Amino acid sequence: MDDMINVSLSQAGDRVVILDQTKLPNKVEYIELATAEDVYQAIFHLKVRGAPAIGICAAFSMYVLALSMPQEDYGEFCREFLKTKEHIASSRPTAVNLKWALERMEKVVMSDPSSPVPKICEKLKKEAQAIQQEDMDMCRRIAEYGLSLIKDGDGILTHCNAGPLATSRYGTALGPIFLGKERGMDFRVFADETRPLLQGARLTSYELERGGVDVTLICDNMASMVMKNGWVQACFVGCDRVAANGDTANKIGTSGVAILAKYYGIPFYVLGPSSTIDLDCPTGADIPIELRSPQEIKEKFYSQPMALPETKCYNPAFDVTDHSLITAIVTDQGIFREPYTSSLCGRRE
């Protein structure tokens, strides 16, 4: 997967180039983002997705958009920058990396108001590049820690997509699998299709097949069966936000996998960069959950609607897994276990 870059700057440096994940696995297509609305729509419609990748995209986008903002007056530049930042932040409220990356870019703007705006723009570019490089380094460390929790030949169940497409390299939940493969280890991966948007089917199985990993795609409601059969030795999932008490938000369906794993005595690991830990969010109940269009349930991926137009739908994009169901939270700073209120708060900064 190393040859597939999901977020980058255009050759001219005035646009953000992303791999359109909505077209996978049937078509590899890159698109350019030139306006704030381009960026908003790309994030909202999941053309770029995965908490770390969203953050990287947002950082590069703020640099590109800053180039077309007023360059002579810092006050005007700052006002437009902050307005654009808030607009992009509203595209996906659950993933904390989006807010985190945007705030890092804002800090660059606010930290040196005496500098000429073009100089500030240069600093914004360097900050965005740093965010991307840091994610690569973090993913490698997450992969190392995660690999210590499994052994050659294990069966691993994953939900949604937390591989290179969702990050920069290796991924979070899939990182240990790819790193282990590089070292000659073999794993059997069961990938939930992850309804209603099928990120597991369209993206996770795609990445694993390309990486030469033994992957079996299953419907979400088959997870219990493969666990009961003894085919799963660990569950690895990503996360979009970790609350201070260890509750985690991830793609809808994750909490159900955790409940099943608890029943069958299978360790359930959540993997993500330390930037997803939100110590200002006390519990999972405080995490905002994005609600998406009913059409994603009734019509998306179908040639004709699968429900009547008047049928109501409830379509949350994420659910919250209670900390009591999580065996450990794996980040670039180490492996954290209960009680999370002390272990996460005491992590290295």
Single-letter amino acid code for the residue at 250: N
pLDDT at 349: 40
Round the average pLDDT of the chain to a whole number and report it.
96
Q: What percent of the chain has pLDDT over 70?
A: 98
pLDDT of residue 3: 61
Segment 125-145, tens digit of pLDDT: 999 999 999 999 999 999 999
Options 38, 135, 240, 278, the catalytic residue: 240
Contacts of 186 (CB under 8 A, 6+ apart): 152, 153, 180, 214
pLDDT of residue 137: 96
Sequence-ordered list of residues with C-beta below 8 angstroms from that of 239, at least 6 positions apart, any chain: 51, 172, 248, 249, 250, 270, 271, 272, 276, 329
Q: Is 240 a catalytic residue?
A: yes
Per-residue confidence band for 221, with pLDDT thresholds at 50, 70 and 90: very high
Give the bridge partners for 31, in sequence order: 18
Q: What is the mean pLDDT of residues 72-97?
A: 95
Residue 47: its pLDDT value, please? 97
pLDDT in tens, 277-316: 999 999 999 999 999 999 999 999 999 999 999 999 999 9
pLDDT for residue 347: 61
Distances (CA, A) of 49 to 21, 52, 199: 8, 8, 10
Distance CA 218, CA 117 (A): 52
Q: Has residue 251 got a pLDDT over 70?
A: yes
In angstroms, rounded to a whole number, what is the distance separating the alpha carbons of residues 128 and 184?
34
Give kind and range of the element (H or E) at residue 330: strand 328-331
Q: What is the largest CA-CA distance in the chain?
A: 66
If DSSP codes are grouped into helix, strand and coil, which group holds residue 218? strand
* DSSP H or E run through 6: none
Q: Which of 91-95, 260-264, 282-286 has the lowest mean pLDDT?
A: 91-95
- Could you tell me which CATH number the domain at 149-343 has? 3.40.50.10470
Hey, where are the domains in the chain? 7-139, 149-343
**For residue 94, which phi and psi values (nearest 5 degrees)?**
-80, -40
Average of pLDDT values for 97-107? 97
pLDDT bracket for residue 2 (50, 70, 90): low
168 has pLDDT over 90: no
In this structure, whether the domain defined by 7-139 belongs to CATH 3.40.50.150 is answered with: no
Q: Determine how many CB atoms are found less than 10 A away from the CB of residue 312.
A: 6
Rounded mean pLDDT of 30-48?
Answer: 97
Rounded to 5 degrees, what are φ and ψ at 43?
-75, -45
> Can you tell me the mean pLDDT for 12-24?
97
- pLDDT for the residue numbered 155: 98
Tokens 């938000």 correspond to 249
Tokens of 156: 């691993």
